[in-house]
């Protein structure tokens, strides 16, 4: 008869009170609701398909998180006012550099070597990640009114200040997929001291959290998508030249277009042809008049 052995689990009695199971479940439901609009916002900013999914919600000490932080990463530190500071979002460096490449108009080429982002890249990452983090207060809107404050980047988790080593933290692990690449694990860290003021709200009927916030999610997402900047172009019918003709061009040469005079132009928005338009003038400025939809 085989005897099963169970290993002992370490427990630090110096830790403050931890979250109960129903409170963790409530947090998980809040962030599952956060993941949907955050995916849409991330995809709109990078102009590629993006998906964020919550995979696990757990509790670990800050010291344990520091000991596991070996690979380069982009670390975003921010406050959720008026809650006590501070929260941390950890994005693997390879995924962060992919965000930078797409944000700058690249095709999302594979990162050859995993390295820490430069100072300039950190600014771009902060812009992209900041749009995602901005969805967190909306996710909590049914429980408490929050706002993102003092967002900044650190080069490593060890440089984050203000969190004691023995502080218990809630870790929300999320799978992030960008441009159909292999998913990467992103970790959101919420120290217990930050969550303490809303423990009562988290403990009350967690199953209703997502239901109550669904309407506000829809409204906020619609407003945010309508505020996204896109590139619109008015283009003529394309013409073709040989490579020799292109090389022989000089200033003053005239290239004949295959676009007949009076034919409507195409209005292309982010690579998608949406309208047909006629050139016109408003005062002294050149303009177009929309004549039909594609």
Tell me: do 68 and 157 sit in the same domain. yes
Please state the rounded mean pLDDT for residues 182-209.
81
Tell me: do 236 and 191 sit in the same domain. no
Task: State yes or no: pLDDT of 230 exceeds 90.
Answer: no
- Tell me, yes or no, whether 151 lies in a domain: yes
- Tens-place pLDDT, residues 75-109: 999 999 999 888 999 999 999 999 999 988 887 76
Tell me: do 195 and 274 sit in the same domain. no
Tell me: do 137 and 211 sit in the same domain. yes
- Tell me, yes or no, whether 204 lies in a domain: yes
- Tens-place pLDDT, residues 146-189: 999 999 999 888 899 889 998 999 999 999 999 888 899 999 99
The residue that leads in pLDDT, 110 or 162, is: 162
Contact 86, 188 (CB under 8 A): no
Tell me: do 51 and 96 sit in the same domain. yes
pLDDT reported for residue 208:
46
Tell me: do 60 and 103 sit in the same domain. yes
Tell me: do 54 and 174 sit in the same domain. yes
Nearest to 232 by CA among 179, 277, 283: 277
Nearest to 102 by CA among 41, 174, 42: 42
Domain of 203, in residue numbers: 21-226
For residues 50 and 151, give the distance between their C-alpha atoms in angstroms, rounded to a whole number. Answer: 23
Does pTM top 0.95 for this prediction?
no
pLDDT reported for residue 284:
84
Tell me: do 197 and 285 sit in the same domain. no
Tell me: do 237 and 220 sit in the same domain. no
- Tell me, yes or no, whether 47 lies in a domain: yes
- Tell me, yes or no, whether 9 lies in a domain: no
For residues 282 and 185, give the distance between their C-alpha atoms in angstroms, rounded to a whole number. Answer: 52
- Tell me, yes or no, whether 10 lies in a domain: no
pLDDT reported for residue 207:
44
- Number of structural domains the chain divides into: 2
CATH code assigned at 120:
3.40.1550.10
Count Cα atoms within 13 angstroms, Cβ side, for 289: 8
């Amino acid at each position: 008869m085989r005897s099963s052995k169970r290993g002992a689990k370490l427990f630090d009695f110096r830790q403050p009170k931890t979250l109960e199971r129903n409170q963790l479940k409530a947090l998980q439901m809040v962030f599952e609701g956060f993941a949907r609009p955050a995916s849409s916002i991330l995809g709109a900013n990078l102009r590629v398909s993006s998906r964020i999914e919550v995979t696990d919600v757990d509790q670990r000490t800050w010291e344990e998180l520091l000991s596991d932080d070996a690979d380069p990463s982009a670390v975003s530190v921010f406050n959720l006012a008026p809650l006590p500071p501070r929260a941390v979002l950890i994005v693997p460096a390879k995924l962060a550099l992919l965000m930078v490449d797409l944000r700058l108009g690249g095709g999302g080429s594979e990162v050859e070597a995993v390295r820490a982002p430069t100072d300039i890249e950190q600014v771009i990452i902060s812009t992209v990640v900041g749009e995602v983090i901005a969805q967190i207060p909306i996710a909590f809107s049914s429980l408490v009114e929050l706002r993102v404050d003092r967002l900044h980047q650190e080069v490593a988790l060890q440089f984050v200040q203000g969190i004691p080593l023995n502080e218990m933290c809630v870790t929300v692990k999320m799978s992030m997929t960008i441009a159909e690449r292999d998913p990467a694990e992103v970790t959101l860290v919420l120290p217990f001291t930050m969550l303490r003021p809303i423990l009562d709200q988290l403990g009350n009927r967690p199953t209703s959290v997502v239901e109550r916030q669904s309407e506000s999610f829809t409204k906020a997402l619609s407003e945010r998508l309508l505020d996204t900047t896109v590139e619109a172009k008015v283009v003529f019918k394309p013409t073709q030249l040989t490579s020799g003709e292109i090389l022989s061009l000089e200033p003053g040469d005239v290239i004949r277009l295959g676009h007949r005079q009076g034919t409507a132009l195409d209005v292309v928005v982010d690579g998608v042809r949406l309208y047909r338009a006629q050139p016109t003038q408003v005062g002294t400025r050149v303009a177009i008049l929309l004549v039909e939809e594609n």
